[in-house]
Structure 1
Amino acid sequence: MNAKVSDHVLRRLRAWDIDHVFAHPGEGLKGFAAAWVRAGNRPHLVRAGTGATAVLEAVGHARFSGKTGVCAASRAPGPVHPLDGLYDAALARVPVVVLLGRARGDTPDGAGDRASDLLALPEGVAPVRCRTVTAPERVPDVIDEAVRTAREHRGPTAVLVDAEMQERDAAPGWPEPPGCPWSQRPRGTPAAAAGQDLENAAEVLNSGRRVAILVGPDARGAAEEVRRTAETLGAGVAKTLLGKDALSDVLPWVTGTAGPAGTRPSRELLRDCDTLLTIGATAPEDRFPAGCGPGREVRICRAPGPPGARHPHGVDLTGDVRVTLAALLPLLRRTDDRLWQHAVERNAERWRTALERRATAPAHPLDPEHPVHALDPLLPADAVVCADSGPAATWYAHHLRVRGALRGCVVVTRSVAGSVVPCAIGAKFAEPDRPAIALVSDVTGHPDGLTELVTAARCYREWFDPRLVVAVWNGHGTDPAGGGGHTRRGTPGSGRARWLPGASYAEFARSLGLYGTRVEEPGDVRRAWLGALRADRPTVVEFLRERR
């Protein structure tokens, strides 16, 4: 039998070292489904519950594997549902390629269809670069362009393949691609900034008396260089929310996260500094007010970007973060004045003491911050932690200390409920030998979060370490965004005004053959975490935020 276009799409993905594809089956993907059977399930197909969760699992895989995440979804009844997940890829700046299948008769000119056609949405609405396979011989070029664009721009791309095109015979004479030609690999980042720029940056930093360092996600892999820079300059270090796992929180002069979910010592650090060094933080993450004057900022990043909101950067250093920092370090002058750094350390210590006092105070019902605070000393050093963008993001930012090989992320999507569970599942396929913890704020746990527990129940035997702990704060259907559990009952704006049907997440997990436990009292929190971290399968830990 002649090879089909769908066969060569999978071959080209293998040539780009794609080892997992997350897919939601549908009418528009029948050709790909047959191709996966012929290919011996290479790349490995992971079936997701919906098109949006397939994208989010691909995003989670890309975050923690360092590779390009790939997902497939049927275009009918429209790609807007997968589009929601693509926003997370754009905001998280990770490369993702989505294969869209279009069933026969589902044409973009159909009545009422064009409004939901991803290819018709402007780039301002859909942060996706879209391509269509129009002929069999175009497959290598379209797939190569999609993967290369996703890697270069660190965002999502889409490839539309009609059902009819999937089953057409491939162009004759195509060999199995031996690999990705060097000419088609993404353009590399400059190894380091220019020498004159390094000298200008060193001059700015050496003249500072109160230096602050802001670390972003692109600084992962450069933790030692960041530590040496801070010790040389006598600086305090704050981290963006997405860059929380780029540097250990055990270092005394690390003040935690900055921004909306930031800590008080980080806010004071950026307010009182006279010189700011931004490392691996990209817009809009680095747009935090800083106390330094114009020209007193130095930024090191992979690619040039817009300056901060308050002051223009004095020097922009474009290049690999670790290599650039290593080249800058010999030019920095070690300071003997440690008054500023010691003040930063005292502020950070006071903040940690206040956090502990607040999280461990007696509370009935259960204080929502207490479970995360209790989790911190129990976290395995190689754990992967995913938090949603609701209140759990703040608890993750404040109470969990990064140390060892711990990795973490916050799902920053704008419009998908239940996004953190599929992200954690994608992380498990990227890091199958690590335990994973998903922190879920009630209303963001369903419906898609509950759906993907089915995926976890089906797939956990494929993971070397089967531990996936889904921690859900159950307010009995109250929306945390509306103030459920945080405002007085009956007052305007309380969570009761945004009532959603309640659900027992622990019981649902047990119905799938997973473990599930419900926690109502503070004294049971530690026991529940220990049981989940010792389990031989995924576990749902349900923390009740209110009594019925």
Structure 2
Amino acid sequence: MKLTGAEILLECLLEQQVDTVFGYPGGAVLNIYDALYQYADRIRHIRTAHEQGAAHAADGYARSSGKTGVCIATSGPGATNLVTGLATAYMDSVPMVAITGNVARPLLGLDSFQEVDITGITMPVTKHNFLVREVGDLADTVREAFAIAQSGRKGPVLIDIPKDVTAAECEYTGREPLPPEDTPMPSERRMKAALELLMHSERPFIYAGGGVILSEAAGELHRLAAALDAPVACSLMCQGGYDQYDGRYVGMLGMHGTKTAALALHECDLLVAIGTRFSDRVTCNAGLFAKNCKVLHIDIDTAEFGKNVDAALRLRGNAREILAALLPALPQREHGDWMARITRWQREYPLVQSAPHPDAVTPKELLETLDALTGSEAILTTEVGQHQMWAAQFYRFRRPRQFITSGGLGTMGFGLGAAMGAQLANPGKQVVNIAGDGSFLMNANELSTAARYNIPLIELILNNGVLGMVRQWQKLFYENRFSHTTLEKPVDYELLAKAYGVPAYTIAERAQIEPVLRQALGEKGPVLVNCLIDMDQNVLPMVPAGAPVEDIILEM
């Protein structure tokens, strides 16, 4: 049948089982939006307040569901407003397809109104991007984009479509989606070498990264830890990849990790690193990282091997498939003395947080109360800063895709859009965005989107009146010169929320934590909770920049 380019685009989205897209209309995508009007019963469109919010919402939808998120923007500033969201997804290996309109083909390259070379701009922050010059190429381009987004190390793909291509007509024939490309398994020789390392280790330590979640390997990770009789630490991106109620879990490793994880790294004889790129926030000083042990590194991306940390053995492939192949050949190991040391360290070095006065709200008590009230079952999104680390430290995640945060790029303003995407992908789940007041003000306009579509999420602001993480560094390393980190913005957060039609509450003292959270959790639509905390509440433990992971600060 003959369809316009815009109709072909939407038919291809339906082929990929896309049911929700996030975007903002404009001149170059008018034909696409006209088609969306006709397809409204099959594809739900969420109009965000800003294109960056659309990208973050598509990202949150993808991270929380495992599906490919989709966002749409017009040419020029609409397209460039997606760049931060694309870079956020790229750094954290999130499958997304961004669709941008552009000026008509005869106007390309002429500095036309709202024209920009978005494929050139986004080349460094996408897995691949396309400029579709012929309507006959559109369908196959869309199919290829979705396959690329989900193949190998996942990531965002951009499709730029000139306006006249969306208006042109072409024959369309539906097809089944292209499967993601298979990732080859390591050689039998390498697999045997890995088994030798695992079987001869007396003090093994498992470090799991975001690749565990992306490859759906949480079950295999749990079985490996049991078979190997080893403690497990998770990166920020792998929160929920291992059940934190399990006694083997020792917390995060790295700059804001636990003392137990740091000691386990120092004392282990084998570090089994799965689906991790060894970020500088984990290694702290890569030259001193894991120098007392052998490293077995399992990852899907060969570019990550040896980039930051050398390994005795590298296994390239899908983490779930590799672990599934290793487990049947791995005999049950027993490391009673090693696990007893781990348990002793856990008792000696628990995560604690003092309050400046008895009635003060501490992030620890706030998040532990939220954890208890939600039965550890909520999906938490975060902005970036101290609140992000506290959420990872004090909420106990039980399964993958519960914790959604910008780890690689560290994008302030990410969480609220991501929370909307996560809730729309998981309508039966409770979704809470943990925000700092600085991050919240970056994209507070998306409260209007949550209100417009009655998206039932909680915006929980840990309000300390400062850019807390930067202030903490100024305190430690800049002799308390708090240059431009005190916000001093006279914002009434309850009034701001109510202006958007969102109910709001304030927590000012400890006694209000549980009743206010209960009330917020009972709301049927979006709600804002403004929680006042002390500006000098710090994220601890902390490893100073350039120090080895073991040199961890427990008190300030």
Place the TM-score, normalised by the shorter chain, in its bin. Answer: 0.7 to 0.9
The answer to whether the 8 A contact 2:91-2:409 is kept is no
State the shift of 1:395 in Å: 0.1
Aligned partners of 2:423 and 2:456 also within 8 Å: no
Q: Which structure is richer in relative contact order (CA contacts within 8 A, separation 6 or more)?
A: 2
Separation (CA, whole Å) in 2 of partners of 1:204 and 1:34: 59
1:540: which partner in 2?
528
Preserved contact between residue 28 and residue 103 of structure 1 (Cα < 8 Å): yes
For 2:398, which of 373, 392, 403 is the aligned residue?
403
Deviation at 1:62, TM superposition (A): 0.8
On the 8 A contact 2:70/2:96 being kept in 1, the answer is yes
1:276 aligns with 2:276: no
- Normalised by the size of structure 1, how large is the TM-score? 0.87
CA displacement 1:318-359 (0-9 Å, x = unmatched): 34433422332233343444111111122223333x42xx25
User: How far is 1:236 from its partner?
Assistant: 1.3
Deviation (angstroms), 1:416? 4.6
- Contact residue 383 and residue 406 of structure 1 kept, 8 A: no
Q: 1:487 to 1:365 in 2, by over 3 A?
A: farther
How far does residue 498 in structure 1 lie from its aligned partner after superposition? 4.8
Counterpart AA for 2:199:
N
- Measure, in 2, the Cα distance between the counterparts of 1:273 and 1:265: 12
Residue of structure 1 equivalent to 2:545: none
Q: CA deviation at 1:525?
A: 1.1
Partner residue, 1:316: 314
1:517 paired with 2:505, answer yes
Query: Aligned runs of 1:19-30 on 2, under 5 Å?
Result: 19-30=19-30
On the 8 A contact 1:76/1:106 being kept in 2, the answer is no
Once the 2 structures are TM-superposed, how far is the Cα of residue 257 of structure 1 from its aligned partner?
1.0
The SS at the match of 1:261 is: coil
Structure 2 CA distance for partners of 1:268 and 1:94, relative to 1, 3 Å: same
Return the TM-score normalized by structure 2. 0.86
Aligned equivalent of 2:190: 197
State how far apart, in whole Å, the 2-side matches of 1:484 and 1:325 are: 40
Q: How does 1:179-190 map to 2 (within 5 A)?
A: 179-180=176-177, 184-190=178-184
Task: Provide the C-alpha distance between the structure 1 equivalents of 2:323 and 2:309, rounded to a whole number of angstroms.
Answer: 22
Percent of pairs with identical residues: 22
- Preserved contact between residue 503 and residue 526 of structure 2 (Cα < 8 Å): yes
How big is each residue's C-alpha offset from its partner over 1:271-307, in whole Å with a ceiling of 9 and x where there is no partner?
221111112324548963543557x222233343432
CA distance in 1, matches of 2:145, 2:113: 28
Deviation at 1:111, TM superposition (A): 7.6
Give secondary structure in 2 for the equivalent of 1:246: coil
Of residues 145-154 and 410-419 in structure 1, the stretch that sits farther from structure 2 once superposed is 410-419
Q: Displacement, 1:165?
A: 2.3
Partner SS, residue 305 of structure 2: coil
Deviation at 1:251, TM superposition (A): 1.4
Cα 1:24–1:422, aligned 2, differ >3 Å: closer, same or farther?
same
Superposed CA offset, 1:5-48 (max 9, x none): 10101111111222211111222221111001122343221111
Deviation at 1:237, TM superposition (A): 0.8
**1:539 Cα deviation (Å)?**
1.4
Counting only pairs closer than 5 Å after superposition, residues 48-447 of structure 1 correspond to structure 2 as 48-77=48-77, 79-103=79-103, 107-110=108-111, 117-121=117-121, 123-124=123-124, 126-127=125-126, 129-152=128-151, 153-168=153-168, 170-171=169-170, 173-175=171-173, 177-180=174-177, 184-190=178-184, 193-220=186-213, 221-282=216-277, 284=279, 288=283, 290-291=289-290, 293=292, 296-308=294-306, 312-352=310-350, 354-355=351-352, 358-359=353-354, 362=357, 366-403=361-398, 407-412=402-407, 414=409, 416-447=411-442
Is contact 1:471-1:540 (8 Å) kept?
yes
How far apart, in 2, do the equivalents of 1:485 and 1:501 lie? 21
Aligned equivalents of 2:442, 2:369: Cα separation in 1:
28
> How far apart are the structure 1 equivalents of 2:507 and 2:164?
52
Structure 1 residues 223 and 157: CA distance shift in structure 2, 3 A: closer
1:129–1:253 Cα change, 3 Å: same
CA contact (8 A) 2:51 2:78 kept: no
Q: Sort the Cα spacing of 1:270 and 1:496 in 2 relative to 1 into closer, same or farther, 3 A.
A: same
Give the Cα separation in 1 of the matches to 2:519 and 2:348.
Answer: 32
**Separation (CA, whole Å) in 2 of partners of 1:367 and 1:287:** 25
Q: CA deviation at 1:308?
A: 4.8
Shift of residue 389, structure 1, vs aligned partner: 2.1
Is contact 2:376–2:395 with CA below 8 Å preserved after alignment?
A: no
Query: Residue type matched to 1:149 in 2?
Result: I
Q: Which moved more, 1:255-264 or 1:101-110?
A: 101-110
1:526 aligned residue (511, 514, 520): 514
1:219 Cα deviation after fit: 2.1
Alignment check: 8 A CA contact 2:123 2:129 kept = no
For 1:199 and 1:414, locate their aligned partners in 2 and report how far apart those are by CA, in whole Å.
37
CA 1:285/1:199 → structure 2, altered by over 3 Å: closer, same or farther? farther
Alpha carbons 1:485, 1:495 under 8 Å: kept: no
Task: Look up the SS of the partner of 1:299 in the other structure.
Answer: strand
Name the CA distance, whole Å, in 1 between partners of 2:493 and 2:414: 16
* Cα distance, 1:224–1:36 mapped onto 2, change above 3 Å: closer
Structure 1 alignment gaps of length 5 or more: 461-465
Q: Distance in 1 between matches of 2:411 and 2:334?
A: 50
Alignment RMSD, CA only? 3.0
SS in structure 2 at match of 1:348? helix
- What is the CA-CA distance between 1:73 and the residue it aligns to? 0.6
* Alignment partners' CA distance in 1, 2:425 and 2:199: 41
Name which of structure 1's ranges 156-165 and 478-487 shifts more when overlaid on structure 2: 478-487
Matches of 1:310 and 1:131 in 2, distance apart? Answer: 31
Unaligned runs of 5+ in 2: 536-556
Query: CA 1:402–1:350 in 2, change beyond 3 Å: closer, same or farther?
Result: farther
2:451–2:500 CA contact under 8 A, matched in 1: yes
Q: Which amino acid aligns with 1:102?
A: N
**SS in structure 2 opposite 1:394?**
helix
Equivalent AA in structure 1 for residue 22 of structure 2: F
Note closer, same or farther for the CA distance 1:413–1:196 as it changes in structure 2 (3 Å cut). Answer: closer
Deviates more, 1:317-326 or 1:511-520: 317-326
Q: 8 Å contact 2:494–2:504 — kept in the other structure?
A: yes
Aligned mates of 1:320, 1:497 — CA distance in 2 = 43
Aligned-partner residue type, residue 375 of structure 1 = L
